[in-house]
């Protein structure tokens, strides 16, 4: 029997990201939107050459269309939810350390420059999509904008960090204030998760 694509498990409760992301938003975003992508992907791969493939391989091999779109959205959302953690306490900084910090400084001069550029990429992405921090083949870091379900795997890059700017990620909490959502999401990034993605390449 073919192995189905599973929902990723959250490492926190539905209310633990508040006030940055509310329980209502997380319930809809994770529990309904992502679940729908997972269900649709499993339907699309059943009894096809893709049914025994790992998710990353489906993304690399699938042609443009419903299969790639659903696989990409499952992968993107899994990355997004995995990298989040309860907000740091007021007055505390939430910053990367170690090799990730060094790589950010090497590619962007300092963390604040990186954060501003990543935030700008997320803010200015037209319509729905994702802003990504990726690691290139030569080990340097780069910021990318990918629309809809597109992601770094399709372009031979290692995905490290993403900001979801589909409206369902923030509209219940921030309405059309995408900039406010982007500004606040930095307080709930788990940099240890992001660093592990880089170290594992």
| pLDDT tens-digit readout, 170-180 | 999 999 999 99
Torsion of CA 147, 148, 151, 155, to 10 degrees: -60
Domain-terminating residue out of 39, 58, 82: 82
Residues 72 and 160 in one domain: no
- pLDDT (0 to 100) of residue 54: 96
Q: How many domains does one find in the chain?
A: 2
Question: Hey, what are 189's tokens?
Answer: 């990034």
Domain-terminating residue out of 57, 82, 107: 82
Determine the structural domain holding residue 142 and report its residue range: 98-199
Residues 107 and 133 in one domain: yes
Domain-terminating residue out of 33, 50, 82: 82
Identify whether 89 is part of a domain. no
Residues 64 and 111 in one domain: no
| pLDDT tens-digit readout, 91-108 | 788 999 999 999 999 999
Identify whether 126 is part of a domain. yes
Given a contact cutoff of 8 angstroms between Cβ atoms, the answer to whether 111 and 104 are in contact is yes
Largest CA distance in the chain: 53
- pLDDT (0 to 100) of residue 163: 99
- pLDDT (0 to 100) of residue 89: 82
Structure pTM?
A: 0.95
- pLDDT (0 to 100) of residue 2: 57
| pLDDT tens-digit readout, 16-64 | 999 999 999 999 999 999 999 999 999 999 999 999 999 999 999 999 9
Q: Round to whole Å and give the CA distance between 201 and 197.
A: 7
Q: Round to whole Å and give the CA distance between 145 and 139.
A: 19
Q: Round to whole Å and give the CA distance between 46 and 3.
A: 10
Identify whether 14 is part of a domain. no
Identify whether 90 is part of a domain. no
Provide the sign of the torsion angle of the four alpha carbons 53, 57, 61, 62, taken in this order.
positive
Identify whether 35 is part of a domain. yes
Which CATH number characterizes residue 140's domain? Answer: 3.55.40.20
| pLDDT tens-digit readout, 118-131 | 999 999 999 999 99
Which CATH number characterizes residue 69's domain? Answer: 1.10.287.990
| pLDDT tens-digit readout, 52-91 | 999 999 999 999 999 999 999 999 999 999 999 999 887 7
């Amino acid at each position: 029997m073919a192995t189905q694509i599973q929902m990723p498990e959250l490492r926190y409760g539905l209310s633990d990201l508040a006030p940055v992301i509310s329980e209502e938003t997380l319930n809809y975003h994770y529990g309904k939107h992502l679940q729908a992508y997972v269900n649709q992907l499993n339907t699309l791969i059943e009894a096809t050459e893709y049914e025994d493939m790992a998710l990353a391989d489906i993304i690399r091999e699938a042609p443009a269309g419903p299969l790639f779109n659903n696989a990409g959205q499952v992968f993107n959302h899994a990355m997004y939810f995995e990298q989040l953690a309860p907000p740091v306490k007021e007055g505390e900084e939430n910053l990367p350390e170690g090799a990730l910090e060094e790589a950010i400084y090497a590619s962007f001069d300092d963390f604040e420059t990186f954060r501003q550029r990543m935030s700008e990429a997320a803010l200015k992405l037209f319509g729905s999509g994702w802003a990504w921090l990726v690691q290139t083949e030569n080990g340097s870091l780069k910021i990318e904008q990918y629309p809809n379900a597109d992601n770094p795997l399709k372009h031979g890059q290692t995905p490290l960090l993403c900001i979801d700017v589909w409206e369902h990620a923030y509209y219940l909490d921030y309405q059309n204030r995408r900039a406010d959502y982007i500004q606040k999401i930095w307080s709930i990034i788990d940099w240890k998760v992001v660093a592990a993605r880089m170290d594992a390449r």
